Amino acid sequence: MKTAAFRTSRNMSTKEDATADRGFLVGIIFFILGLGTLLPWNFFMTASMYFNNKLNASEWKNGTLTVRKEYYFNNWMTLLSQLPLLLFTLLNSILYQRISEKMRIAGSLLFILLLFILTAVLVKVPMEEDRFFSVTMATIWFINSFVAVLQGSLFGLVGLLPQKYSAVFMSGQGLAGTFAAFAMISALASEADSETAALGYFITPCVVTLFTIMCYMLLPKLEFARFYLDKCKSKSYELETFSQLLPTERYFIPVCCFLIFNFMDWIGRTVTSLVQWPPKDSRLFPVLVVSRLIFVPLLMMCNVQERHLLPVLFSNDLSFAAIMVFFSVSSGYCACLSMTYAPQLVESKDGETAGALMTFFLALGLSLGAGFSFPLRFMV
């Protein structure tokens, strides 16, 4: 009896030790993994000025400065980012049981790293504009394909841990844009020439992605992570988840577009760990989400140049910055609450399916937004 009691006591002690995330190390790793999932998209978005300058070369003709060819880089980049995200999120939800978790996560990170290295190398490689555009678009497509697999797999992985780790993971995603914006501003502020600054800028995500791979490889060595991940090993746990805005000086777009949006989006996501309003059962929550559509006409009526149809109602830079703050905070807040609420609104056995559908519809919404960017551009 004493031996059995001792064993029971020992097992309880072991369980208590295992369920203690010492130094919140597992939380930090999932924060970094969240950062790594959205880093590729944000680094390409923030570098739109570099790509546009390299593609839309201008020349003097009959005393007039003209652009030789308009590539509509921002529109194509958005579309070719969201379409593979949609397609491969769906594909991942169907085929994940046939491919191991390590292959999906570590393999995706490795290919993302290689594609970033290619992008950095192309900074120093002279290339004809059409070919550079094609290679860049292909890179964007493949990077976002791997990001879709990575994000869906990591949402499933973090879903095995206590709920707060999902919030930490999404907070890391929110910081990705801010990180990219700071990297761009640092590149602009450096005294290096534009080519060297761009090279340094694209080397940064290579280093961060390599560090993310190392963090993921460390995860199964931590007792706290093993306790939750091994417990569900036999279960199916995957949750499938540069238009010029204002004619100003060169820091306006990195600061007012990328830095403000991504930092405030991160703030919005982080706030959900403290405040969750409206509650998940409230009919006010979907109304709040839909009401964000008002930002579409508001942003279109800022001082976007060139204009064809709509008037400029907000010509002041501060007005645009204020709209961007509310737009980005509400984006992060509503996105994080939606992803958090969905599994709680169904029976526990359907929680994984709800998470998978939420990830799919998130990708679908982004893809539709990318598609609508073409007609909206001409409406302005």
Least-confidence region, from 61-65, 131-135, 227-231, 344-348: 61-65
C-alpha distance across the termini of the chain, in Å: 80
Please state the rounded mean pLDDT for residues 143-158: 87
Tokens 């491969």 locate to: 88
Residue 58 — very low, low, confident or very high, per pLDDT cuts 50/70/90? low
Query: Torsions phi, psi of 349, nearest 5?
Result: -70, -20
Query: Is residue 114 situated within a structural domain?
Result: yes
Cα of 366 vs its chain's centroid, Å: 11
> Does 127 fall in a domain?
yes
pTM for the structure as a whole: 0.64
pLDDT-derived band at 244, boundaries 50, 70, 90: very low
Q: Phi, psi (5° rounding) for residue 60?
A: -85, 130
Instruction: Identify the pLDDT of residue 210.
Output: 92
Q: What is the mean pLDDT of the chain?
A: 79
In a domain, 365, yes or no: yes
Contact 190, 200 (CB under 8 A): yes
Residue 338 amino acid letter: S
Q: Which range, of 83-92, 105-114, 259-268, 276-285, averages the lowest pLDDT?
A: 83-92
Q: How many other CB atoms sit within 10 Å of the CB of residue 23? A: 8
H or E element at residue 60:
strand 58-61
Residues 6+ apart with CB under 8 A from 134: none
Would you say residue 302 lies in a domain? yes
Q: Do 46 and 20 form a contact (C-beta atoms < 8 A)?
A: no
| Rounded Cα gap, residues 339 and 119, in angstroms | 32
For residue 82, being part of any structural domain is answered with yes
Residue at 138 is within a domain: yes
pLDDT confidence bin for 142, thresholds 50/70/90? very high
- Three-class DSSP category at 23: helix
Residue by residue, DSSP assigns 154-218 as HHHHHTTS-THHHHHHHHHHHHHHHHHHHHHHHHHHSSS-HHHHHHHHHHHHHHHHHHHHHHHHH
**3: in domain:** no
Give the angle 366-370-376 at the CA atoms, nearest 5°: 130
Choose among 74, 67, 82: nearest CA to 49.
74
Range of the structural domain that residue 193 is part of: 16-59+68-379
What pLDDT, in 10s, does the model give residues 74-93? 888 888 888 888 788 777 77
pLDDT exceeds 70 at position 151: yes
Does the pLDDT value for residue 277 go beyond 70? Answer: yes
Task: For residue 193, give the CATH number of its domain.
Answer: 1.20.1250.20
pLDDT of residue 232: 56
Residue 5 lies inside a defined structural domain of this protein: no
pLDDT score at 248: 47
Please say whether the beta carbons of 355 and 159 come within 8 A.
Answer: yes
Q: How many domains does the chain have?
A: 1
| Alpha-carbon span 187 to 182, nearest angstrom | 9
* Tally: H helices and E strands in the chain: 15, 2
